[in-house]
Amino acid sequence: MKQSMFVLLVLALVIGLSACGERTDKKAEQATEVVEEPAQQPEEPAVQAEELIWVYRGRGNRQCEGGGMSLEESGAKLTDNGVAVQDSRCGTRTDRMYPAVCGGPTGDILLHLIAKDSLDAALELGFDPADQIQYQNGKCPANNTGPSSRSNP
């Protein structure tokens, strides 16, 4: 009986020590991971957020007719003239009302995020700062040939 108790005690001791050894290994791995994290910092963006501005222009589509400029065409107008575009999206002006009449203008706009130092070039191309109007972001139409997908109240 003494031998079996001794064997059980030794077995418990071996299991306990091996478990402690695994914990030590895990702590060492965690410490290594923490040390590695500061070395892997994300790259800085080319332009800081404070140096960017949204500009817009009317899409030029007409109620019941569609048409107008696409987001890609509008962005190309900027990039073809040396203005780097960081982001683009479609939107709708909310600071004006547009009467529901076929052939009438819509509040659809095209927005582009550019560097503030390119604002003068964008102004010359017919864009305006978007912070001077009220708008909401929206979905871009699938094409420019059909009737406007925007519903008027």
Q: Residues 61, 75, 138, 150: what is their CA dihedral angle, to the nearest 10 degrees? A: 10
Tell me the two tokens of residue 151.
């519903």
Q: For residue 149, what pLDDT band results from cuts at 50, 70 and 90? A: very low
Ramachandran class of 67: left when φ > 0, alpha when ψ lies in -120 to 50, beta otherwise? left
Per-residue pLDDT reduced to its tens digit, 34-79: 444 444 544 545 556 679 999 999 999 999 998 999 999 999 999 9
> Model-level pTM?
0.62
Exposure string over 104-140, b if 16+ CB within 10 A, otherwise e: ebbbbbbbbbbbeebbeebeeeebeebeeeebeebeb
Task: Reply yes or no on whether the pLDDT at 103 is more than 70.
Answer: yes
Per-residue pLDDT reduced to its tens digit, 15-30: 765 655 555 455 545 5
